Amino acid sequence: MGWIELRIADGVEALELTVNLMGRETTIYPTLFWDEESVILVDAGFPGLEQQIREAIEMAGVSFDRLNKVIITHQDVDHVGSLPEILAKSQRKVEVLAHEVEKPYIQGDKPLIKADAAKRSKLFETLPEEQRKRLQAVFSNPPKAKIDRTIEDGEELPYCGGIIVIYTPGHTPGHICLYHKPSKTLVTGDALTANEGRLSGPNPSATYDMDEANKSVKKLAQYDIENVICYHGGVFKEDVQKRILQLTI
Q: Is 122 domain-assigned?
A: no
CA dist., res. 219 & res. 31, Å (int): 21
Indicate whether 86 pLDDT > 90.
yes
The pTM of the full predicted model, rounded to 2 decimals, is 0.92
- The CATH number of whichever domain residue 72 belongs to comes to 3.60.15.10
What single DSSP character describes residue 51? H
pLDDT digits (tens, 9 = 90+) for 173-202: 999 999 999 999 999 999 999 988 799 999
Indicate whether 121 pLDDT > 80.
no
177 near 213, Cβ under 8 Å? no
Q: Is 118 domain-assigned?
A: no
Q: How confident is the model at residue 17 (pLDDT cuts 50, 70, 90)?
A: very high
Which domain covers residue 57, as residue numbers? 3-111+144-247
Q: Is 117 domain-assigned?
A: no
Type of residue numbered 242: K
CA dist., res. 23 & res. 27, Å (int): 13
| Mean of all residue pLDDT scores within the chain | 91
Residue 37: count of CB within 10 angstroms of its CB: 10
Model pLDDT, residue 203: 93
Strand order through the sheet with 95-99: 7-9, 12-14, 31-34, 39-42, 69-71, 95-99, 149-151
Q: Is 136 domain-assigned?
A: no
Strand partners of residue 14? 31
What single DSSP character describes residue 15? -
Q: Is 238 domain-assigned?
A: yes
Q: What domain count does the chain have?
A: 1
Indicate whether 133 pLDDT > 90.
no
Model pLDDT, residue 197: 79
SS3 214: helix
Q: Please indicate whether residue 75 or residue 205 has the higher confidence score (pLDDT).
A: 75
CA dist., res. 56 & res. 53, Å (int): 5
186 near 178, Cβ under 8 Å? yes
| Residue 187, CB-side half-sphere exposure with 13 Å CA sphere | 31
The mean-pLDDT minimum among 59-73, 138-152, 222-236 falls in 138-152
| Residue 162, CB-side half-sphere exposure with 13 Å CA sphere | 7
Q: Please indicate whether residue 140 or residue 35 has the higher confidence score (pLDDT).
A: 35
| Residue 3, CB-side half-sphere exposure with 13 Å CA sphere | 6
